[in-house]
Structure 1
């Protein structure tokens, strides 16, 4: 019996990684959602007027990102039916299980975002209800208004107060939704790349970079092609570019602490990490740090940061850079062998579960859901209310 147990143990040692391409994509989506929500809260909670025209739009982007994100987890399970196990088992370990925290957060956070969106857009939805002719359309918009059709000053003031409360509650909830993903990695003792209390903070800092970068990419497209004026708000784009620059600075500072503590002062695992960063040196330094972080940061604070093509470019490059960081962290952390010397390799396949095709399908789903949500919620009417007829061309 002892011999059989020994053989079973030895055959269970495998270089295969447990997490594949879906997981860094999931981390990217949840982080960008949290950042988009925070940008929306700049207007609703902190009263920053320059972000008010895009507050509702950012809120909808945050909602769609979070709806699409968990599908990466389902795909990574290989058998979608396994998802039910998250809800049925393990609750006795809730206090020490970040994944259980995630179950509640992923169920609560999108509901809060949707509730805030319904409150924010209620006056516009009521007007659509009044203009609707068909019974099905009227029933649909009446459901979205939750039966509240009062447009008096008192009712609008109540909406504003409720939106403030939901936004204030949503900020720590948004931070927790993405912070727990970094927490999941940080508590893993077996990976020297992950095991640090800085991991949740690192994920949050880089999330602001990816979320702001995503808004710099999709906002001008939405304003140019899907609004009645067809004009792009240069002031908001410049504000987002500056926000991107400051987010990159914070991200770089946190990464400095992470790398110096992990490599320079980690007496036990420093040589394994030095092998890892040495092997990926050019990829991490020149692509991830210089091209995707330092150059966008410099452009964001320069005169070029006031020009639309450069704003679009640095937003795209910075968002891609954070995705690469998620890849290098999640997949790279699993390539550091636990029982073997050297580094393991991982090459994602093109089709099937956990493949490049699955990730691309998730992105296409995000685009489709975003289009559907933007058709339902009158975000363009909200922008017109803020802009009037004076948008700069």
Structure 2
């Protein structure tokens, strides 16, 4: 009797943490675009402060997300091949068209909405800040219907991003945990948790004043609370459905995956509970409370993508593996994650400065359809 020993070398994961970051930031962008449309439709019930935070989350995520995608492509120049060799039957190739359109629309919509805040910077005491008022590109008014139309088109474009990002991974038939309808639904639902978390973070960075939008309105509370609760509950229900689609129900036979699924479920419950603790009462919300909401929602959205995209790759496909993965400290790991969040935070700090003029002058910005007056722009 002869015994043949077969040695299987360890296999590297194909999708690096860059894909988690891309799905994380671009998901927050298209979810914020949808929430921004709702806030415009209920303009009288929502605050300018919340709308500004939503539109900044949308624009910043639409800019940072594609940068993470180029990192996942391993070389930025590789993106050129999507246009030189367009293949309409490929979701990634279609995404090369959908993504720049969404990014451009998100930045355009954010600019249209924040033009009044840019004009208010002309009253700043700092000369450099006053020059930013030129970014309004004139004193022409922004009609409400123009802004709403731009926001709706941006939201529809965001849905194309949600479709292609979910489909490009769900078509991988060799991964049953990806090749199912529950996976793109799970990523779409938890994108709203990321949007709420980043909105709460930017909201806490914006200046406070006693004359305009110093606190969340009752409708702001309901919008953020119900969005967080609905997304967390739906994700909580989708997690066991998603896990059950693995062949042989094997995830529940592995101690490491029982921990992963428990952590995912617990993160959804914490996000829902924190939304009620922070936003359950219609009162002014402290920055500490917003930090709790930011931490729980962002953690839930991030863990969903990390476990469903990175940890899934450690499961054997056609053999017994192994497929180990350890987060490196370099640019393809922890340094890259910290760098992308640092970039997002830097853009958020710059964006929050656009509203500084209103807090310092103590005046409320006019609605977008009003004419903007400042000394640098002729009427």
Q: TM range, normalised to the smaller chain?
A: 0.7 to 0.9
- Structure 1 residues 231 and 120, CA gap change in structure 2 (3 angstroms): closer
**For the residues of structure 1 that align with 2:363 and 2:93, how far apart are their CA atoms?**
42
Secondary structure at the aligned position of 1:83 is classed as helix
* Greater length-normalized contact order (CA 8 Å, ≥ 6 residues apart): 2
Q: Which residue of 2 aligns with 1:65?
A: 61
- Say which structure is richer in helix: 1
How many Å apart are 1:109 and its aligned residue? 0.9
Q: Which residue of 1 aligns with 2:153?
A: 169
Q: Which residue of 1 aligns with 2:345?
A: 367
| Cα shift readout 1:5-48 (whole Å, capped 9, x = no counterpart) | xxxxxxx9972111111111111111111222222211224546
**For the residues of structure 1 that align with 2:344 and 2:128, how far apart are their CA atoms?**
30
Q: Which residue of 1 aligns with 2:273?
A: 298
How many Å apart are 1:162 and its aligned residue? 0.5
How many Å apart are 1:322 and its aligned residue? 1.6
Aligned residues: 355
CA RMSD of aligned residues (A): 3.6
The answer to which of 306-315 and 28-37 deviates more is 306-315
Q: Which of residues 110, 115, 119 is equivalent to 1:122?
A: 115
How many Å apart are 1:124 and its aligned residue? 4.0
Asked whether the equivalents of residues 175 and 204 of structure 1 are also in contact (C-alpha less than 8 Å), the reply is: no
Q: TM-score, normalised by structure 1?
A: 0.78
How many Å apart are 1:121 and its aligned residue? 2.7
Alignment of 1:354-393 (within 5 A): 354-375=332-353, 377-378=354-355, 381=358, 385=364
| Cα shift readout 1:189-222 (whole Å, capped 9, x = no counterpart) | 0001100123322211111112112222331243
Asked whether the equivalents of residues 29 and 65 of structure 1 are also in contact (C-alpha less than 8 Å), the reply is: yes
**For the residues of structure 2 that align with 1:39 and 1:51, how far apart are their CA atoms?**
13
Secondary structure at the aligned position of 2:160 is classed as helix
Q: Which residue of 2 aligns with 1:36?
A: 32
Asked whether the equivalents of residues 126 and 141 of structure 1 are also in contact (C-alpha less than 8 Å), the reply is: yes
**For the residues of structure 2 that align with 1:335 and 1:48, how far apart are their CA atoms?**
50
Q: Which of residues 333, 339, 342 is equivalent to 2:312?
A: 333
**For the residues of structure 1 that align with 2:44 and 2:322, how far apart are their CA atoms?**
48
Asked whether the equivalents of residues 124 and 130 of structure 2 are also in contact (C-alpha less than 8 Å), the reply is: no
Asked whether the equivalents of residues 237 and 311 of structure 1 are also in contact (C-alpha less than 8 Å), the reply is: no
Q: Which residue of 1 aligns with 2:369?
A: none
Q: Which residue of 2 aligns with 1:149?
A: 139
Secondary structure at the aligned position of 2:327 is classed as coil
Q: Which residue of 2 aligns with 1:233?
A: 216
Secondary structure at the aligned position of 1:78 is classed as coil
| Cα shift readout 1:50-108 (whole Å, capped 9, x = no counterpart) | 2543112211121112211122222233333323223222x1x21x2111122112201
Asked whether the equivalents of residues 36 and 61 of structure 1 are also in contact (C-alpha less than 8 Å), the reply is: yes
The answer to which of 319-328 and 226-235 deviates more is 226-235
How many Å apart are 1:132 and its aligned residue? 10
**Would you say 1:17 and 2:13 are equivalent positions?**
yes
**Would you say 1:251 and 2:235 are equivalent positions?**
yes
Secondary structure at the aligned position of 1:350 is classed as coil
Q: Which residue of 2 aligns with 1:6?
A: none
**Would you say 1:199 and 2:183 are equivalent positions?**
yes
Asked whether the equivalents of residues 105 and 154 of structure 2 are also in contact (C-alpha less than 8 Å), the reply is: yes
Q: Which residue of 2 aligns with 1:104?
A: 97
- Structure 1 residues 87 and 137, CA gap change in structure 2 (3 angstroms): farther
Asked whether the equivalents of residues 223 and 230 of structure 1 are also in contact (C-alpha less than 8 Å), the reply is: no
Secondary structure at the aligned position of 1:196 is classed as coil
Unaligned runs of 5+ in 1: 1-11, 264-268, 388-393
- Structure 1 residues 339 and 247, CA gap change in structure 2 (3 angstroms): closer
| Cα shift readout 1:318-354 (whole Å, capped 9, x = no counterpart) | 21122011011111221122232155210021013x1
Asked whether the equivalents of residues 170 and 184 of structure 2 are also in contact (C-alpha less than 8 Å), the reply is: yes
**For the residues of structure 2 that align with 1:202 and 1:107, how far apart are their CA atoms?**
24
- Structure 1 residues 380 and 132, CA gap change in structure 2 (3 angstroms): closer
**For the residues of structure 2 that align with 1:217 and 1:186, how far apart are their CA atoms?**
31
Q: TM-score, normalised by structure 2?
A: 0.80
Secondary structure at the aligned position of 1:349 is classed as coil
**For the residues of structure 1 that align with 2:54 and 2:129, how far apart are their CA atoms?**
28
